[in-house]
Chains A and B, each alone.
Chain A
């Protein structure tokens, strides 16, 4: 029995979610191979081979995998699946996209977004927006699993292991990449940042999000948002924290002008310390906050920035 982890990368850099997914994969108790599919992978392959717990790195270098299109990537994983009892990827938008396709092609169920490994067949995963935790046992011979990266630690480094090339069919001809539009940001990535400061509808407009910049700079924080702030057009949607956005678990989460709807809490309630700043003392966010400040955010934010 062996485990195959599919690496996730962007612009020639392995994503931190990959390291955390390897931590989860190691817990299954078998050798872990890491598949790196894309284009121009040589620099990344060294990095991949140095993640503690990886026994072997498989490289599939083909333009068809450059944008990690689900149809092509699923076909490649399927071609390697015979050698593995467990196939694992992180529950990012890429992993969520191609993994169920792999599972269906293998005729097995997928276990989505696990937050804990009990044994090689049994896992914990949140359901109902995190309001319940299900313990589930896979009855399939092959397990296809996606991992909620925020629930696992980052893997350490090791002396590099062997790297082998593999080839797949390339493009299966169902889809083509047209374009992408990335949100520019110099701040740490939301899902990996140790501190996150998020604004909600209480920010009133997009310009006011600038009030968070100074604080984020001083704390080395990423800036997030509630769905209300995204839907109101204050900020782009990849900043959304919640059930349908990103799931974060930083050391410190500061919620500013966020009421704390179920869907938002699903994305941040595993943060180590939660601070809520809201002028409504009855806002549900105060029920999960370690430290609450009932005050107008427009008074508090400049004060907080200068106090740091």
Chain B
């Protein structure tokens, strides 16, 4: 089977985002960028399915400006066979991304699409579900285990209160949770080899998707700061303060 893995270039997860002074957005100039951590897990799962003989080809796809090819090369170095870059300078919403991806699903007809459950920048948690809706496929979100059988895929999902396993008809869409796997690192020889793997560039405008914004970003603010607390010297003082000062116990 062929597996498609959409990935996203985002701010590195260790970097604390700063709001621009004019409140128009978060400042991403000169900030370290990386592959979204959940997308790394998606790539890893696809590669493992290939190593297990379940998958025959892994295609990585990303949508964004030219710099996002860096993350596609990372995906190739990790073991993806080819990459597709949908090039756009626009800042897109999840619905746009899902629509563009559905065109790639049409073109590539993968039996499984594995996405991260959410990107750590917009924290939307929508694209996989929307792609499933647009392609009319079943969805296994927040996956902590993926078990491909003939004609179906069993997905164990991390839900509030525990785990739930669902069986989806193939072709299907899966989104990854953190505990699905431990992503590997790209080795230097593989990074070199990745430079020679195929990378197709498609202009987003050529796919016939209406990319007009549906959500207007009015402003972005810093969250309310918490006032500085105090350090207490012992347990007795802590309990006393919680009882008499904070009145929470």
Question: Contact residues of A with B, CB < 8 Å?
Answer: 10, 67, 69-71, 74, 92-94, 96-105, 107-113, 122, 126-140, 173-183, 191, 195, 219, 227, 230-231, 236-238, 243-244, 246, 251-252, 262-263, 269, 272-275, 281, 286, 288-295, 300, 303-304, 307-308
Instruction: Decide: B130 and A93 in contact? CB cutoff 8 A.
Output: no
Q: Report the minimal beta-carbon distance from B174 to chain A, rounded to whole angstroms.
A: 12
- Determine how close the nearest CB of chain B comes to the CB of A285; give it in whole angstroms: 10
- Judge whether B162 and A182 touch: CB under 8 Å: yes
**A133 contact set on B, CB distance < 8 A:** 220-223
Residues in A whose Cβ lies below 8 Å from that of B94: 100, 109-110
Interface of B: prevailing SS: mixed
Partner of B158, one of A191, A195, A238: A238
CB distance from B144 to the nearest CB of A (A): 8
Interface segment among B43-51, B62-70, B76-84, B235-243: the answer is: B235-243
Distance between A122 CB and nearest chain B CB, rounded to angstroms: 7
Q: Name the residue on A nearest B166 (C-beta).
A: A175
Q: Give chain A nearest CB distance to B26 CB in angstroms.
A: 5
| B19 touches A (CB below 8 Å) | yes
Which residues of B from 29 to 82 have beta carbons under 8 Å from A? none
Question: Contact between A96 and B168 (Cβ–Cβ < 8 Å)?
Answer: no
Interface flag for B188 (CB, 8 Å): no
> Does residue B109 face the partner (Cβ distance < 8 Å to A)?
no
B interface size (C-beta, 8 A): 81
CB distance from A276 to the nearest CB of B (A): 8
Interface contact B129-A70, CB-CB below 8 Å: yes
Whether B229 and A112, one on each chain, are in contact in the complex, defined by CB atoms closer than 8 angstroms, is no
Chain B residue with Cβ nearest A138: B215
Interface string of B82-124 (1 = CB under 8 A from A): 0000000000011100100000000000000000011011111
- Contact among B95, B218, B239 with A135 in the assembled complex (CB-CB below 8 Å): B218
Report the Cα distance A127→B222, complex, angstroms. Answer: 10
Task: Tell whether, in the assembled complex, residue A103 and residue B130 are in contact, meaning their CB atoms are under 8 Å apart.
Answer: yes
Q: Do B221 and A135 touch (CB < 8 A)?
A: yes
In the bound complex, residues from chain A placing their C-beta under 8 Å from that of B248 are 195, 251-252, 272-273
Residue of A nearest to B229 (CB): A290
Flag if B26 contacts A132 (CB, 8 Å): yes
A107 to B212 alpha-carbon distance, docked (Å): 12
In B191-247, which residues have CB < 8 Å from any A CB?
213-223, 226, 229-232, 234-236, 238-239, 241-242, 246
B121: A residues at CB distance < 8 A:
127-128
Q: How far is the CA of A307 from the CA of B243 in the complex (A)?
A: 12
Shortest distance between the CB of A306 and any CB in chain B (Å) = 9
Chain A residue at minimal CB-CB distance from B27? A132
A238 to B118, CA, bound (A): 17
Q: Which residue of A lies closest to B161 (CB)?
A: A182
User: In the complex, A110 Cα to B121 Cα: how many Å?
Assistant: 16
| A307 cross-chain contacts in B, Cβ below 8 A | 235-236, 239
With A and B bound together, what is the CA distance between A108 and B217 in angstroms? 16
With A104-B133, A132-B19, A304-B238 as known contacts, state yes or no: A176 contacts B167, CB within 8 Å. yes
- Which residues from chain A contact B142 at a C-beta distance below 8 Å? 93, 96-97
Complex contacts, A177 vs chain B, CB 8 Å: 164-166
